[in-house]
């Protein structure tokens, strides 16, 4: 056929080539664009992987509380009733605080004689002339701090460790100081057994705070002082909040909420009359005698 119709054959060859050449050209362009797209996508994937690893490292650096101890699975209904009747009914509405109060097993922080009253609406003795605070007061003070998952907290007066555990359920790190060495030791052991790797306990005078770990987003005091210790004001981060009981001249105690704005200016107000055990140590000295 090619010999018989040479002109017609050449014509069809030209038509075929005119169609194939543009198609081939488009195929090369499309493949090149895909290759560029893959090259551009690689850094994004690498960045995502880097961010994932960084996040994992940060999460590993700040351990969260564990709830594997048997105490967390015990007396759950009592804690739920405590939160509903003693706390939520009194306008404590921070969901993080309510959740923490439901989780932390208060009965693990009181002695055998007080087990029947572990979830009662009042403080209980814990030895050394100290007490574990009323559940409502613990919740009120925790809510006043406005804790966030990345907050660093300083507690003055570890006591049994209950308040520290509640804060540790919300915040990233809790540094707590107890002047009674026996209580500091027992609280550290108990918090370790219960699975609170983000709580750090020190035996010492809370008046001076924990300077090496400052500044703090929140500071909480669980013993009544005659004044707000100046070192604690210095260790409070701009934008931070501090709450602690302060005893006035006539012996009346009030929870005092101290806030520091971003410029470092302080403001304070009385928020509730209370009755706490007295703070001991440096704070009992006349104001002019304490080191600044």
Check residue 25 and give its pLDDT: 56
- Please report the pLDDT score of residue 275 as a whole number: 86
Ranges of the chain with pLDDT below 50: 1-4, 35-44, 50, 53, 56-57, 292
| Per-residue pLDDT, 292 | 45
> Is the Cβ–Cβ distance between 133 and 123 less than 8 Å?
yes
In what order do the strands lie in the sheet containing 152-156? 199-203, 173-178, 152-156, 216-221, 236-247, 253-260, 266-274
- The whole-number pLDDT of residue 104 equals 98
pLDDT at 140: 98
**How big is the chain, counted in residues?**
292
Give the per-residue pLDDT at 14.
58
pLDDT tens for residues 29-43? Answer: 555 555 444 444 444
* Catalytic positions, written as ranges: 133
Please give the structure tokens belonging to residue 151: 């907050």
Whole-structure pTM over 0.85, yes or no? no
Which fold, 70-289?
Rossmann fold (3.40.50)
At residue 251, the pLDDT reads 79
Q: Where are the domains of the chain?
A: 1-61, 70-289
Q: Tell me the pLDDT tens digit for each residue of 250-270.
A: 778 999 999 999 999 999 999
Per-residue pLDDT, 256: 96
């Amino acid at each position: 056929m090619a010999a018989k119709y040479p002109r017609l054959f050449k014509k069809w060859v030209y038509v075929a080539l005119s169609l194939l050449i543009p198609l081939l050209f488009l195929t090369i362009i499309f493949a090149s664009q895909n290759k560029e797209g893959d090259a551009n996508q690689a850094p994004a994937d690498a960045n995502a992987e880097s961010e994932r690893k960084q996040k994992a490292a940060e999460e590993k650096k700040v351990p969260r509380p564990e709830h594997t101890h048997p105490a967390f699975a015990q007396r759950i209904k009592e804690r739920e009733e405590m939160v509903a009747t003693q706390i939520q009914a009194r306008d404590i509405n921070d969901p993080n605080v309510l959740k923490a109060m439901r989780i932390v097993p208060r009965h693990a922080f009181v002695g055998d004689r007080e087990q029947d009253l572990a979830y009662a609406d009042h403080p209980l003795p814990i030895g050394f002339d100290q007490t574990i605070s009323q559940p409502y007061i613990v919740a009120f003070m925790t809510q006043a701090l406005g804790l966030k998952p990345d907050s660093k907290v300083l507690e003055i007066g570890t006591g049994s460790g209950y308040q520290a555990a509640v804060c540790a359920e919300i915040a990233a790190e809790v540094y707590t100081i107890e002047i009674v060495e026996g209580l500091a030791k027992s609280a550290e052991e108990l918090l370790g057994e219960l699975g609170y790797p983000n709580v750090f306990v020190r035996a010492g005078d809370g008046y001076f705070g924990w300077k090496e770990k400052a500044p703090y987003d929140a500071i909480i005091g669980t013993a009544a002082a005659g004044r707000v210790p100046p070192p604690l004001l210095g260790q409070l981060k701009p934008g931070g909040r501090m709450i602690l009981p302060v005893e006035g001249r006539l012996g009346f105690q009030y929870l005092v909420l101290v806030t520091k704005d971003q410029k470092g200016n302080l403001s304070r107000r009385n928020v509730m009359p209370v009755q706490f055990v007295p703070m001991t140590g440096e704070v009992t000295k006349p104001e002019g005698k304490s080191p600044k």
